[in-house]
Amino acid sequence: MKKRFLIVFVLMAVVAGGLYGYQIFVQKMMGQFFAAMANPPPAPVAVAEAVLMAVPRTLEGIGTINAVRQVTVAPEVAGRISSILFEAGQTVVAGSVLLHMNDDQEKADLEIYRAQAKLAELNLNRSSKLVDVASPRSTVDQYRASLDEARGAIARTEAQIAKKAITAPFDGVLGLRQVNLGQYLNPGEPIVTLTDLSELFINFTLPEQTLAELKVGQAVVLSVDAYPLKIFTAEINAIEPQVGQETRTVKVQASMKNPDNLLSPGMFAKVKVSLPQGSAAVIVPETAVDFTIYGDSVYVLRVPQDAAQQKNEQGEALFQAERVYVKAGSRFDNKVAILEGNIKAGDKVVTTGQLKVNPGAMVKIAPVDGLAKDYESIKDAIPNE
């Protein structure tokens, strides 16, 4: 019994000692953890310099691109197609024949009218020589009227024949063919679209409050989803004199050249009308501003007052991150104007890496490559990135 009791006592002592040692180990590790949290290593951040500049003023709107000259080619008279002389997507010049409609009957009528005109002219010449001698003046007038009538019939028939040769009214690019050889066409039935892409209109609307700042000749910049990295320029050429009663907006039209034919009618466009520049303000990159429901803020790098904290062991310059609450103004070109806040031109603001920065924490300016690697390690924790 004594031997069993001794074994149990030893086992209990070993277990108790193990638990005590584990508690000491946990307390030691927690102490090290909180010590590290109290003095975390400087976080690498990317920075940019705040600048003082005049704030560009623009009016933004949504518009649609239209062609200055665009038409659906259609016949004026009825007839059956005898030949098609164009291909879809072809570039044509004004006067190019696109298709012929059967005009055999009109050509036959033309020969008849020409013969009648010739006969009327001969009779008129004979009767004119014998007027008041062997031919009464009324006969001369009758032959002259017959000649005029025949010439009118010739002109009318020639016009009908010309209308059966469908031509391009201006230079442009043809769309998809909508007819086939041998098809019977009625007046106004579409054949093909023709679009002049060399010059375009941009039609857009702006609120009526902007009417006082609009004028013909103002510069317009626009972008389209098809070319997100390109900026196109135009110029206001017309302003609707009436304000829409239902929408309270004013219609504006700008014109632009399209030498490379990059833009097409019907495209959706984001439009900005340039206005005279506003007053100067401190400008920072848009990524430097933390927009929250509690207010907008920016991390500004300050030089530590303690000289020992200005560099780390590797000799890298260290800064203290100060959170500055600001009032953000207008945004343009991925920049933000700061209307209020303790930021001045020349201050370095954090543009990337704010997630690892706490107010008052020490940070270092990271090279671009190093920051990119660091970003890869935290991007999964960034929502909607």
Per-residue pLDDT 10s for the chain (385 aa) are: 667 777 777 778 777 777 777 777 767 666 555 544 555 678 888 888 899 888 888 888 999 999 999 999 999 999 999 999 999 999 999 999 999 999 999 899 999 999 999 988 888 887 777 665 555 777 777 888 988 998 999 999 999 999 999 999 999 999 999 999 999 999 999 999 999 999 999 999 999 988 888 899 999 999 999 998 899 999 999 999 999 888 889 999 999 999 888 999 999 999 999 887 777 889 999 888 888 888 889 999 888 877 656 776 666 788 888 899 989 888 888 888 898 888 888 899 999 888 888 888 888 887 754 433 443 343 343 333 3
How many CB atoms are closer than 10 A to CB 188?
10
Taking the C-alpha atoms of residue 84 and residue 74, their distance in angstroms, rounded to an integer, is 14
- What is the topology classification, in CATH, of domain 40-55+279-381? 2.40.420
- Could you give the angle at the alpha carbon of 229 between the alpha carbons of 227 and 232, nearest 5°? 70
Strand partners, 232: 222
Architecture field, domain 58-68+198-275: Beta Barrel (2.40)
> Which residue, 277, 297, 375, 376, is CA-closest to 338?
297
How many CB atoms are closer than 10 A to CB 316?
12
Taking the C-alpha atoms of residue 264 and residue 268, their distance in angstroms, rounded to an integer, is 10
Residue 307: its pLDDT value, please? Answer: 64
- With b for 16 or more beta-carbon neighbours within 10 A and e for fewer, the 117-145 pattern comes to beebbebbeebeeeeeeebeeebbeebbe
- Could you give the angle at the alpha carbon of 170 between the alpha carbons of 166 and 175, nearest 5°? 70
3-class DSSP assignment, residue 156: helix
- The first and second tokens of residue 281, run together, are 């303000």
Question: For strand 268-275 and strand 280-285, is the pairing parallel, antiparallel, or unpaired?
Answer: unpaired
C-beta of residue 279 within 8 angstroms of C-beta of residue 344: no
DSSP 342-353: S--TT-EEEEE-
Same fold, 40-55+279-381 and 58-68+198-275: no
Taking the C-alpha atoms of residue 36 and residue 31, their distance in angstroms, rounded to an integer, is 9
Taking the C-alpha atoms of residue 290 and residue 352, their distance in angstroms, rounded to an integer, is 11
Phi, psi angle pair for 383, to nearest 5°: -70, 145
> Which residue, 75, 154, 166, 74, is CA-closest to 107?
154
3-class DSSP assignment, residue 244: coil
Say which residues have a Cβ less than 8 Å from residue 381's Cβ, sequence separation at least 6. Answer: 355
Taking the C-alpha atoms of residue 123 and residue 280, their distance in angstroms, rounded to an integer, is 91
- The first and second tokens of residue 237, run together, are 């050429």
Domain ranges across the chain = 40-55+279-381, 58-68+198-275, 103-163
Taking the C-alpha atoms of residue 105 and residue 164, their distance in angstroms, rounded to an integer, is 12
Residue 170: its pLDDT value, please? Answer: 93
Strand partners, 364: 44, 318
For residue 131, give the DSSP letter: B
Taking the C-alpha atoms of residue 204 and residue 252, their distance in angstroms, rounded to an integer, is 5
HSE, side-chain direction, 13 A CA sphere, residue 337: 15
Taking the C-alpha atoms of residue 217 and residue 231, their distance in angstroms, rounded to an integer, is 18
Residue 291: its pLDDT value, please? Answer: 83
Phi-psi region of 79 (alpha: psi -120 to 50; beta: other; left: phi over 0): left
> Model pTM?
0.62
